[in-house]
């Protein structure tokens, strides 16, 4: 990967440019706060001094002003001071300049020039004052120190700007290398996973930075993908196992019908074939419904649903079966608000739970159905006296085609609780299975809104 094309390097370079820009702004502010202040102080000093000399001229005349200028130069109190008192032809009368500076006219005001009479020449700033009778007074100061300070500041700014650029490029390169290394690790793991190494995961450094959070999310996604692939393989194996027996029996029945058998035998074989076909259709219908619900393609037909009414309908449907099996069904229904949901799916889930309870409850046992409100939700539960499930199987019974061996040979297709789990997920309900002292209790907590 080209270093200049990496996002990290470009961001670091952009940060360096912004830092240089901010440095320039700070430099301008510092200039006005220091150099500009010193220059204004110089101008103020010149103004005060030229005002004093004007007063001396007004009080003492030409000769008095000449004496004052000479006295100031002799005292050498301010070696940077510049004085020039000239006549109308700009011939010097007093001062430390032997001639009128070039490029400086006699116009009243401020002037900046180079003092060529100093070695080496130095920059100067002066104020020209016109006096009566054509006389001209120039008062100024050597500003070479200010110019030197400004030059040093500009040089320091250039060095600091270059250093910022260099550090920005270096930081960008290091940051880009680090980011590229971690991105390459992500790409390698994803490519390895795509190539079939389903146990590969992105290493987490423990710094809890953005890359660690991304790695954790990717690992969770890979775990989920691996689990889904395992489920698909398990479902495929389970389907093949579940369909082998009814298909074999169906083929055997058809062979028997095709042979020379009595009408009574033919009727018996046809009935057996019909039962096997119905079982196959039921399995495929359950699988299709579960797949549609879990994939999100199921069209939700939510409406206000009364769970109490659905419980009554389910009990009425299985009441004869329970009576023949010698099992008592008890109900405890408390006033509960209606919930939004799919009436047919919820009824199917309740019927599956009641059917499972009837299958695993011995004669003389009791099945209890309860409905009650709790914390902005409606809780439906069904408990049996069938002895419960091993703890290790509680989290497995909702998987497709999983059938427990408790109570002898496993029965059913192993899709009943899988459908209940899918219906719970569609309704954002909480499905909970737990063992009681007498058997298993399954509860569904539906939100009211």
pLDDT in tens, 124-139: 999 999 998 889 999 9
Q: What residue spans of 76-209 are helical by DSSP H?
A: 144-194
pLDDT at 175: 73
Pairing of strands 136-142, 328-333: unpaired
What share of the chain in percent tops pLDDT 90? 13
pLDDT in tens, 143-161: 888 788 778 877 877 787 7
- Domains of the chain, CATH where assigned: 34-142 (3.30.450), 210-295 (1.10.287), 303-447 (3.30.565.10)
Q: What backbone torsions phi and psi does residue 2 show, to the nearest 5 degrees?
A: -65, 130
Pairing of strands 109-115, 136-142: unpaired
pLDDT in tens, 232-273: 665 555 555 556 666 676 666 666 666 656 666 667 767 766
Is the confidence at residue 403, as pLDDT, over 90?
A: no
State the average pLDDT over residues 339-368: 88
Question: Is the distance from CB of 286 to CB of 419 less than 8 angstroms?
Answer: yes
pLDDT at 409: 46
Is the confidence at residue 227, as pLDDT, over 90?
A: no
State the average pLDDT over residues 76-97: 87
pLDDT band at 191 (very low <50, low <70, confident <90, very high): confident
State the average pLDDT over residues 363-379: 90
Question: Is the distance from CB of 419 to CB of 434 less than 8 angstroms?
Answer: no
pLDDT at 381: 93
Who wins on pLDDT, 268 or 284?
A: 268
For residue 283, what are the contacts with CB-CB under 8 A and spacing of at least 6? 239, 242, 243, 413, 415
């Amino acid at each position: 990967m080209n270093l200049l094309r990496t996002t990290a390097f470009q961001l670091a370079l952009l940060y360096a440019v912004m830092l240089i820009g901010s440095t320039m702004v700070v430099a301008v502010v510092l200039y006005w706060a220091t150099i500009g202040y010193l220059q204004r102080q110089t101008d103020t000093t010149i103004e005060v001094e030229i005002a004093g000399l004007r007063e001396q001229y007004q009080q003492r005349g030409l000769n008095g002003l000449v004496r004052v200028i000479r006295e100031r130069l002799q005292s050498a109190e301010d070696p940077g001071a510049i004085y020039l008192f000239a006549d109308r032809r700009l011939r010097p009368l007093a001062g430390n300049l032997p001639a009128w500076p070039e490029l400086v006219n006699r116009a009243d005001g401020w002037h900046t020039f180079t003092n060529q009479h100093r070695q080496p020449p130095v920059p100067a700033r002066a104020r020209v004052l016109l006096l009566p009778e054509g006389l001209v007074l120039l008062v100024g100061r050597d500003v070479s120190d200010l110019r030197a300070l400004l030059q040093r500041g500009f040089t320091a700014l250039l060095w600091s700007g270059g250093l910022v650029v260099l550090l920005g490029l270096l930081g960008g390169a290091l940051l880009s290398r680090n980011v590229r290394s971690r991105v390459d690790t992500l790409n390698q793991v994803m490519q390895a996973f795509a190539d079939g190494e389903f146990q590969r995961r992105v290493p987490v450094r423990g710094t809890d930075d953005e890359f660690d959070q991304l790695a954790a999310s990717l690992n969770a996604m890979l775990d989920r993908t691996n689990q889904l692939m395992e489920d698909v393989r398990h479902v495929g194996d389970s389907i093949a196992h579940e369909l082998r027996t009814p298909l074999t029996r169906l083929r055997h029945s058809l062979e028997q019908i095709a042979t020379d058998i009595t009408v009574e035998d033919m009727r018996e074989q046809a009935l057996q074939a019909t039962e096997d076909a119905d079982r196959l259709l039921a399995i495929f219908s359950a699988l299709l419904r579960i797949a549609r619900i879990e994939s999100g393609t199921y069209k939700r037909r939510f409406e206000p649903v009364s769970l109490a009414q659905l419980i009554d309908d389910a009990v009425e449907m299985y009441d004869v079966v329970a009576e023949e099996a010698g099992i008592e069904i008890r109900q405890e229904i408390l006033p509960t608000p209606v919930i939004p949901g799919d009436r047919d799916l919820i009824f199917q889930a309740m019927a599956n739970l009641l059917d499972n309870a009837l299958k695993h409850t011995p004669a003389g046992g009791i099945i209890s159905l309860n409905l009650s409100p709790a914390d902005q939700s409606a809780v439906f539960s069904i408990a049996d006296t069938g002895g419960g499930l091993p703890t290790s199987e509680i989290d497995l019974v909702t998987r497709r085609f999983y059938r427990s061996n408790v109570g002898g040979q496993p029965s059913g297709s192993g899709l009943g609780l899988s459908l209940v789990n899918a219906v719970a997920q569609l309704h954002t309900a909480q499905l909970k299975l737990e063992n009681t002292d007498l058997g298993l209790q399954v509860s569904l907590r539906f939100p009211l809104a």
